[in-house]
């Protein structure tokens, strides 16, 4: 982890940059050839053996859709600090969640497991304190100082006691959804007076305090924002920021642009038209970006920015009228794709500033962070470390993954539970109730999934192939139907 990678493209074996894991493998092979039975790595191979592991910061937002970043060409939204992470690190073009719903997705980020395995199947399912293990527990055992700050929501009316977490700051208001203004905060389970009225700023203040502490150990900070969840109330100084912006190209052609209650979506909707709520959504995102900027400034001021791994992600996507649908839950691209950005010490990233096309998932976060910290990845984690993708732009990625959604009261009547297989080219969806036929889309020819091919010859042939793969993967990952 101490050896810097060259920024020159691969030009053959002698000019190809050698990654940390390759160096260890090569050295180990050389030792084996020499017949040495045991040895100690020289301290100058990667620097001192006592050198600290990198600090880790994971920032998670709620309902942040993958294309709501200026770095990917949003028509008016400006997110300079998120763009900076992408520009100095890696932006994943094809990042997804395995369940597009707050609680299951958050548990998947923490455990590296599918909802079928960690057991948080919907927003009413409780985190199992006896069974579920977070990546922070492993980091704590490896010598990290740890903090969880922000939204818990599993389910939220009660906060757990998390092993391996030194500082636990969260809220229970509205079953864990919290309020944008004057939200009651619990610090290590003790109700604490508000220091700032606006939740995004207050959570960031706590994060800054944690980062600013004098310490000998590396730290891991999990910063989980309420934003940008419904009901989208921006801070006072950003209200109306996008009031006059042209939204003519911001919604899908089939969208009912002025209706947030489409298809009985009133439980997720809000009074007013979609133009108004989308403006507020974007204004709340600007606030998140501002607070991210404060965090970056703090790291720079302390001289530890380049010693810190920073990952930014959303817990699920969001439908703004695509398919004449609103909110999340559904297996379509707008719902399951997320922003996923990582900035890391330069010795971890080959060609910083690039965009990676390999598919990565929320369940990949936990094994990746352990891999970066040099901690063995437990067999219980189902995700895959994407450290190889950071180290080499030609590293292979997964070819497919399973998406799962269980019954989520009171939304069950609107969104039937289902399973889907998403490959590099196709998406195959099986509905457990309400719909008799599956759906299949050719994402290469139809990226917006507007033409269901299930009743075509091509679709029937591909559906048979993908159904077999889905069944194989369900067994491999222990995916359950109920």
What three-state secondary structure class fits 309? strand
Q: How far is CA 80 from the centre of its chain?
A: 19
Is residue 401 one of the residues assigned to a domain? no
- What angle (nearest 5°) sits at the alpha carbon of residue 149, between those of residues 144 and 154? 110
Three-state SS annotation for 76-106 = CCCCHHHHHHHHCCEEEEEEECCCCCHHHHH
Is residue 19 one of the residues assigned to a domain? yes
Q: Are 92 and 11 part of one and the same domain?
A: no
Token pair of 337 as six digits: 């794709």
Does the predicted TM-score (pTM) go above 0.85?
yes
Q: CATH code at 471?
A: 3.30.1120.10
Percent helix, strand and coil across the chain, each to the nearest 5: 30, 20, 50
| 375 backbone dihedrals φ, ψ, rounded to 5° | -105, 130
Q: Are 83 and 117 part of one and the same domain?
A: yes
Q: How far is CA 230 from the centre of its chain?
A: 19
Is 164:139 a contact under the CB 8 Å cutoff?
A: yes
pLDDT for 257 equals: 67
Q: Are 59 and 168 part of one and the same domain?
A: yes
Is residue 157 one of the residues assigned to a domain? yes
Separation CA 330–CA 348 (nearest Å):
35
Residues whose CB is less than 8 angstroms from the CB of residue 41 and which lie 6 or more positions away in sequence, other chains included:
24, 27, 49
pLDDT for 265 equals: 47
What three-state secondary structure class fits 355? strand
Q: List the domain range (segments joined by +) for residue 152.
A: 55-396
Q: Are 36 and 69 part of one and the same domain?
A: no
Q: Are 41 and 59 part of one and the same domain?
A: no
Is residue 420 one of the residues assigned to a domain? yes
pLDDT for 41 equals: 33
Half-sphere exposure of 74 (CA within 13 A, CB side): 21
Q: Are 38 and 70 part of one and the same domain?
A: no
The answer for 73, left when phi > 0, alpha when psi is -120 to 50, beta otherwise, is: left
Q: Are 17 and 119 part of one and the same domain?
A: no
Q: Are 1 and 75 part of one and the same domain?
A: no
DSSP per-residue letters across 172-203 = -TTTTT--SBS--EEETTEEE--SSSBHHHHH
pLDDT for 258 equals: 61
Q: Are 192 and 310 part of one and the same domain?
A: yes
List the strands of the sheet with 340-343, edge to edge: 190-192, 185-187, 167-170, 145-150, 219-224, 55-61, 308-314, 340-343, 90-96, 354-361
Total domains in the chain come to: 3
Q: Are 206 and 331 part of one and the same domain?
A: yes
Angle in degrees, 0-180, between the axes of helices 274-301 and 199-212, rounded to the nearest 10: 10
Is residue 433 one of the residues assigned to a domain? yes
Closest to 332 (Cα-Cα) out of 431, 476, 259, 475: 431
pLDDT for 31 equals: 36
| 224 backbone dihedrals φ, ψ, rounded to 5° | -120, 105
Number of helical (H) and strand (E) elements in the chain, helices listed first: 11, 16
pLDDT for 78 equals: 97
Q: CATH code at 341?
A: 3.40.720.10
**Which residues of the chain fall below pLDDT 50?**
1-18, 23-49, 263-267
Is 369:58 a contact under the CB 8 Å cutoff?
A: yes
Q: Are 81 and 4 part of one and the same domain?
A: no
Q: How far is CA 146 from the centre of its chain?
A: 19
């Amino acid at each position: 982890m101490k050896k810097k990678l060259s920024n020159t493209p691969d030009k053959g074996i002698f000019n190809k940059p050698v990654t940390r894991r390759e160096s260890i493998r090569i050295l180990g092979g050389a030792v084996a050839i020499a017949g040495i039975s045991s040895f100690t790595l020289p301290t100058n191979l990667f620097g001192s053996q006592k050198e600290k592991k990198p600090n880790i910061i994971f920032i998670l937002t709620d309902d942040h859709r993958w294309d709501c970043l200026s770095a990917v060409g949003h028509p008016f939204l400006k997110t300079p600090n998120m763009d900076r992470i992408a520009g100095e690190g890696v932006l994943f073009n094809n990042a997804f969640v395995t369940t597009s719903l707050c609680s299951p997705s958050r548990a998947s980020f923490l455990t590296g497991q599918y909802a079928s395995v960690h057991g948080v199947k919907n927003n009413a399912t409780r985190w199992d304190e006896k069974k579920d293990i977070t990546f922070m527990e492993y980091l704590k055992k490896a010598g990290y100082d740890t903090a969880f700050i922000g939204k818990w929501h599993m389910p939220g009316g009660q906060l757990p006691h998390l092993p391996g977490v030194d500082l636990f700051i969260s809220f229970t208001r509205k079953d864990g959804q919290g309020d944008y203004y004057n939200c009651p905060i619990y610090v290590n389970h003790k109700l604490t007076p508000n220091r700032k009225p606006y939740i995004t700023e207050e959570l960031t203040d706590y994060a800054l305090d944690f980062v600013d502490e004098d310490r000998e150990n590396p730290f891991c900070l999990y910063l989980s924002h309420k934003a940008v969840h419904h009901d989208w109330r921006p801070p006072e100084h950003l209200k109306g920021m996008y009031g006059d912006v042209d939204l003519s190209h911001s919604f899908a052609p089939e969208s009912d642009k002025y209706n947030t209650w489409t298809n009985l979506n009133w439980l997720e909707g809000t009074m007013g038209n979609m133009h108004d709520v989308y403006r507020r959504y974007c204004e709340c995102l600007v606030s998140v970006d501002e607070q991210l900027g404060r965090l970056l400034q703090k790291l720079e001021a302390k001289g530890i920015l380049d010693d810190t791994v920073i990952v930014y992600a959303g817990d699920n996507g969001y439908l703004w009228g695509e398919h004449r649908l609103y909110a999340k839950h559904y297996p379509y691209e707008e719902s399951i794709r997320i922003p996923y950005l990582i900035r890391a010490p330069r010795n971890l990233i080959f060609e910083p500033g690039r965009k990676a096309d390999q598919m990565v998932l929320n369940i990949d976060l936990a094994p990746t962070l352990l891999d970066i910290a040099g901690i063995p990845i437990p067999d219980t984690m189902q995700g895959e470390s994407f450290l190889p993708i950071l180290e080499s732009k030609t590293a292979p990625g997964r070819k497919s993954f399973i998406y799962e959604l269980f019954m989520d009261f009171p939304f069950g009547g609107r969104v039937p539970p289902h399973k889907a297989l998403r490959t590099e080219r196709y998406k195959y969806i099986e509905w457990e109730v309400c719909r008799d036929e599956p759906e299949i889309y050719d994402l290469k020819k139809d990226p917006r999934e507007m033409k269901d091919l299930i009743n075509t010859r091509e679709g029937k042939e591909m559906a048979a192939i993908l159904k077999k793969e889905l069944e194989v993967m369900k067994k491999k990952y222990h995916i359950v139907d109920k």
